[in-house]
Amino acid sequence: MTSIKLDGQERLWVSTRSGLFVADTKRKPIRFEPFQVPFVRGLTKTIYRVVPRADGRIWVSGTGGLGLWDGRNWIVYGTKSGLRKESIVFFAERTDREVWVGYAGVEGVSRLQLRPDFSVAETEHFNQEGTLHSNDISFVERDRGGRIWIGTAAGVDIYDGRRWRYLGTENGLIWHDCALGAFLEDSNGDVLVGTENGFSMIKDTQQRLLDSPTTPKIIGLWRNGEPQKLASLRLSSGDLRIEFANMRLNGNANFRYRLAGPDAASGLWQPISQPALHLPQPGAGQYRLEVQAPQPDGSWMGKTAVLVFEITPRYWQSWWFAALVGVGLLATVVAVWWLRERRILEASRVLEQAVADRTHDIEAQKEQIATLLEQAQQSNQLKSEFLANMSHEIRTPMNGVLGMTALALATELSGEQRDYLDTAHQSAESLLQVLNDILDFSKIEAGRLDVECVGFSVRQVVEDAARPFRFALQQKQLGFEIEVAEAVPAMLGGDPGRVRQILTNLIGNGVKFTQRGLIRVGVDLVESGEAGALLAFRVKDSGIGIAAESLPIVFEQFRQADGSTTRKFGGTGLGLAISRKLAELMGGTLSATSEVGVGSEFICALRFANTWPTAARGNSEIPGDVAALRILVAEDNEVSQRLVERLLTKRGHRVTKASNGRQAVARFAEGGIELVFMDVQMPEMNGLDAVRAIRQAESSTGRHVPIVMLTANAMEGDRERCLECGADGYLTKPVSDFQLAQAVAQFGLTRVNSKPDAAPVK
Ligand code: ADP
């Protein structure tokens, strides 16, 4: 049996696990008749509850739904009416058109609002999610005040038609778990509620219910729209929505909350009129949300719903991520630094290598240059030595040839003999000229040619230059004119020897390259001022001329205008090159104009000084008779020795001969020598050492015998070497009669103890 009820007609209704039975209690003996309930299902046809209405209708619940019997028909309410299940255990009418239904199973309760004809107007569900404290229902009853009492496994939820109340252990219930169907309201209106652990009697019901506190409850948490389990609240950040409810005011939300956590640590209560709190992307950390609902008297003294949850940090917020990033950054910095360092090192290595290579190259080049320089110096030295040797070797025999022919010409000769000797003498002189040219040229090349400044007569120089050609001119029947302009000063300062050399060259060429006509030498004053005078020497001929294209090259060394001229006219091709160089040395120029077959004109412009140092030189006259002297002639070449001896004895001097330096020193030591001519290059002891020995010997006596060196080395430097060793003067071979006589006059006269001014003799 599941329930038993007496209706207004005193019929007793009994519901059982195998159907519904009814008995009329006015008829004795009481007999129960089964009452057909067509909608019950299953084998057992369980009827859970039967409740007669005041209007005679009968409510029956069981497997298959809730039925209302009006005496003729059943109206059945089930899932088609919006109920959750067909198997209905509990039900209670709050009003005659509002029925509360509880199911077999943990489903909460449903409320049916009925129209006057008992059709369903609205079905609404109440459960743990919103209103009830548990979905596990123990009873659904109505008290006489019209309240619906819903016993659950977590106390009693009471609805008075406006709001919900709760009855739990905190406000009077002895135990939270209500016993099945354990509800009884007595005649006083006191209510007895049975629990699994005894029963409670709720007196003065109205007051208690009013006082019972409202209870907010957190009913759900959604993250990015996904519901979360409220059990384990560790979640990663996202769009959070926390929903809560007032267990007494379904749908009517009025709350306040406070949130403690890293994002909201204010701890102040915030009012909120929504049953939900929205937290967009809360930061990582622990949160504590407290929610309160207002009490019936308006205060906030009731229960507080608490939700504690933790937002786990995103990986980039975690310490290990920060550490990782730190390590990464450090690694990057180190890597960048390392790369940079490596690149710098590499660059500096490359640079160092380049510098080393370059240095090596430069060193090699320097070495090469040094070697080349040494070679050049050596070859220059060799050239100088060669020239010196050659000139010595040539000059010494030339000395003999010239001297001996001169001596021979001074003797009685037949006409034919004289002619032969004359020719020989002239040839020797030409040879000497060539030799002098070559020497001059190498001196100019080496920059060793000095230009002197003495006073000289311009006319005299021109005449001197022309003199050697008198014979040739006569032979060729050429006319010759000298025209010195009147404006040209009679005397000027310069190097007459070099001027004569240039003019000799030009006149010589003119004579050489002219077959008929005239050679004319003119001198003009181009310019005159304080600095001096600029003269133009013009040597003009009526000879073969020079082709225009050859004109520039005739001034180059060893070049001739026409290769064939060499064979026809002879020559070295040095004359013009030397002349131009000499002109330039004297601050002048040498140029030419020419027409083939008509003739050539060479113009030499030279600058001379108005003043010059007074000449310390003897004049060019052969001095008159000098007292006979005892002269030592030291010379290894027999011909030269004999020549000098003859030239000196011719003038009445007595000669003592020596063939080398040692002999010379010995002869000098024998005493009586008043003048010495000493050759430089001699075997056994050279002239320089011999002079030193003589001077050494003299130092004890205080005497000073003049010594004149004879040198074939016409190169610069010979003079210095001669004078350094203690000689008084020097002569360049081949020595002429005139030069010897002049030297004897100069040094023989000053043979007294005073040392004379050292000077070469010309
Ligand atoms: P060289 O010893 O050959 O005469 P130069 O330097 O004096 O050497 O002259 C060079 C060349 O210039 C000559 O070989 C000749 O061809 C030409 N030359 C010089 N002077 C004259 C001139 N007066 N008339 C024609 N040709 C000349």
Q: For ligand 1, what atom is nearest to the CA of residue 541?
A: 23
Measured CA to CA, the distance from residue 692 to residue 687 in angstroms comes to 9
| Phi and psi, residue 241, nearest 5° | -135, 120
Q: What separation in Å is there between the alpha carbon of 552 and the centre of ligand 1?
A: 12
600 lines ligand 1 (CB under 6 A): yes
Residue to substitute in 546, 558, 581 for testing ligand 1 pocket (most ligand atoms within 8 angstroms of CB): 546
565 lines ligand 1 (CB under 6 A): yes
502 lines ligand 1 (CB under 6 A): no
- Map residue 330 onto helix, strand or coil: helix
pLDDT class for 569, splitting at 50, 70, 90? Answer: low
Residue 443 has pLDDT above 60, yes or no: yes
For ligand 1, atom 20, the nearest C-alpha belongs to: 509
| Phi and psi, residue 397, nearest 5° | -65, -35
The predicted pLDDT at position 762 comes to 40
Secondary structure letter of residue 618 according to DSSP? P
In sign, the C-alpha dihedral spanning 109, 110, 113, 119 is negative
509 lines ligand 1 (CB under 6 A): yes
- Both tokens assigned to 730: 């020097």
Q: Which of these ranges, 416-425, 443-452, 521-530, has the smallest mean pLDDT?
A: 443-452
pLDDT class for 752, splitting at 50, 70, 90? Answer: very low
Residue 661 has pLDDT above 60, yes or no: yes
Q: What separation in Å is there between the alpha carbon of 443 and the centre of ligand 1?
A: 21
Residue 1 has pLDDT above 60, yes or no: yes
Sheet strands (E) in 229-293: 234-236, 239-246, 255-260, 270-272, 276-280, 285-292
Secondary structure letter of residue 377 according to DSSP? H
Helix-strand-coil percent breakdown of the chain, rounded to 5?
35, 30, 35
Average confidence score pLDDT of the chain: 84
Strand-pairing partners, residue 519, are 480
Q: What separation in Å is there between the alpha carbon of 601 and the centre of ligand 1?
A: 12
Measured CA to CA, the distance from residue 727 to residue 233 in angstroms comes to 127
The predicted pLDDT at position 760 comes to 46
Residue 475 has pLDDT above 80, yes or no: yes
Residue 299 has pLDDT above 80, yes or no: no
Q: What separation in Å is there between the alpha carbon of 574 and the centre of ligand 1?
A: 9
Q: What separation in Å is there between the alpha carbon of 573 and the centre of ligand 1?
A: 7
If you average pLDDT over residues 466-473, what whole number do you get? 86
Hey, what's the torsion of the CAs at 103, 107, 109, 114, to 10 degrees? -70
Q: What separation in Å is there between the alpha carbon of 430 and the centre of ligand 1?
A: 16
% of the chain with per-residue pLDDT over 70: 88
For ligand 1, atom 7, the nearest C-alpha belongs to: 575
If you average pLDDT over residues 664-673, what whole number do you get? 90
Hey, what's the torsion of the CAs at 689, 691, 693, 697, to 10 degrees? -170
Q: What separation in Å is there between the alpha carbon of 455 and the centre of ligand 1?
A: 31
Nearest residue to 176 via CA among 165, 185, 166: 166
Nearest residue to 722 via CA among 733, 712, 709: 709
With contact defined as beta carbons under 8 Å apart, do 147 and 128 qualify? no
Residue 584 has pLDDT above 70, yes or no: yes
Measured CA to CA, the distance from residue 482 to residue 624 in angstroms comes to 32
Choice between 253 and 316, residue whose per-residue pLDDT is larger: 316
Which residue type does 307 have?
L
Residue 714 has pLDDT above 80, yes or no: no
The predicted pLDDT at position 37 comes to 92
Residue 706 preceded by cis peptide, ω within 30: no
The predicted pLDDT at position 403 comes to 83
541 lines ligand 1 (CB under 6 A): yes
Sheet strands (E) in 566-695: 589-595, 599-608, 630-634, 654-658, 675-679
User: pTM score, two decimals?
Assistant: 0.41
Chain position carrying tokens 């601050």: 587
511 lines ligand 1 (CB under 6 A): no
pLDDT class for 300, splitting at 50, 70, 90? Answer: confident
Q: What separation in Å is there between the alpha carbon of 262 and the centre of ligand 1?
A: 116
pLDDT class for 743, splitting at 50, 70, 90? Answer: confident
Measured CA to CA, the distance from residue 80 to residue 340 in angstroms comes to 82
436 lines ligand 1 (CB under 6 A): no
Measured CA to CA, the distance from residue 364 to residue 366 in angstroms comes to 5
Rounded alpha-carbon distances, angstroms, from residue 33 to 55, 265, 551: 22, 72, 169
Q: For ligand 1, what atom is nearest to the CA of residue 599?
A: 24
The predicted pLDDT at position 518 comes to 92
- Sort strands 239-246 and 479-484 into parallel, antiparallel or unpaired: unpaired
How many angstroms separate the most distant Cα atoms in the chain? 221
Q: What separation in Å is there between the alpha carbon of 451 and the centre of ligand 1?
A: 25
Burial class (CB in 10 A: 0-12, 13-18, 19+), 435: middle
Quick: pLDDT tens for 237-270: 888 899 887 765 433 457 888 888 886 656 788 8
The predicted pLDDT at position 253 comes to 56
Quick: pLDDT tens for 43-82: 778 999 999 998 999 999 998 999 999 999 999 999 999 9
Strand-pairing partners, residue 110, are 101, 125
Rounded alpha-carbon distances, angstroms, from residue 422 to 469, 504, 526: 15, 21, 41
For ligand 1, atom 8, the nearest C-alpha belongs to: 573
Residue 676 has pLDDT above 90, yes or no: yes
Quick: pLDDT tens for 364-380: 989 998 888 888 877 87
In sign, the C-alpha dihedral spanning 344, 350, 351, 352 is positive
Strand-pairing partners, residue 304, are 292
575 lines ligand 1 (CB under 6 A): yes
The predicted pLDDT at position 753 comes to 39
Measured CA to CA, the distance from residue 464 to residue 485 in angstroms comes to 18
- For 503, half-sphere exposure in the C-beta direction (CA atoms, 13 angstrom radius) is 29
Strand-pairing partners, residue 76, are 67
With contact defined as beta carbons under 8 Å apart, do 231 and 252 qualify? no
Chain position carrying tokens 């230059």: 465
Residue 496 has pLDDT above 80, yes or no: yes
Measure the N-to-C terminal CA separation of the chain; round to a whole number of Å. Answer: 178
The predicted pLDDT at position 614 comes to 57
Nearest residue to 51 via CA among 119, 101, 85, 113: 101
Q: What separation in Å is there between the alpha carbon of 525 and the centre of ligand 1?
A: 26
The predicted pLDDT at position 52 comes to 94
760 lines ligand 1 (CB under 6 A): no
Nearest residue to 513 via CA among 549, 478, 471, 463: 478
Measured CA to CA, the distance from residue 615 to residue 750 in angstroms comes to 18
Q: For ligand 1, what atom is nearest to the CA of residue 573?
A: 8
pLDDT class for 502, splitting at 50, 70, 90? Answer: very high
Nearest residue to 135 via CA among 104, 95, 179: 104
If you average pLDDT over residues 701-708, what whole number do you get? 86
Neighbours of 380 (CB within 10 A): 13
Burial class (CB in 10 A: 0-12, 13-18, 19+), 602: buried
Enclosing H/E stretch for 139:
strand 137-142
Q: Which of these ranges, 22-36, 203-217, 475-489, 664-678, has the smallest mean pLDDT?
A: 203-217
The predicted pLDDT at position 249 comes to 43
The predicted pLDDT at position 254 comes to 75
Chain position carrying tokens 């020419």: 594
Nearest residue to 109 via CA among 129, 77, 84: 84
Sheet strands (E) in 266-424: 270-272, 276-280, 285-292, 304-312
The predicted pLDDT at position 560 comes to 63
If you average pLDDT over residues 148-173, what whole number do you get? 85
Measured CA to CA, the distance from residue 537 to residue 604 in angstroms comes to 5
- Map residue 378 onto helix, strand or coil: helix
- Map residue 502 onto helix, strand or coil: helix
Quick: pLDDT tens for 88-136: 999 999 998 999 999 988 999 999 999 999 999 999 999 988 789 899 9
Residue 616 has pLDDT above 50, yes or no: no
Q: Which of these ranges, 241-250, 303-312, 449-458, has the smallest mean pLDDT?
A: 241-250
Choice between 572 and 187, residue whose per-residue pLDDT is larger: 187
% of the chain with per-residue pLDDT over 90: 35
Q: For ligand 1, what atom is nearest to the CA of residue 555?
A: 6
The predicted pLDDT at position 285 comes to 85
Measured CA to CA, the distance from residue 235 to residue 313 in angstroms comes to 9
Burial class (CB in 10 A: 0-12, 13-18, 19+), 8: exposed
In sign, the C-alpha dihedral spanning 722, 728, 730, 735 is negative
Q: What separation in Å is there between the alpha carbon of 556 and the centre of ligand 1?
A: 11
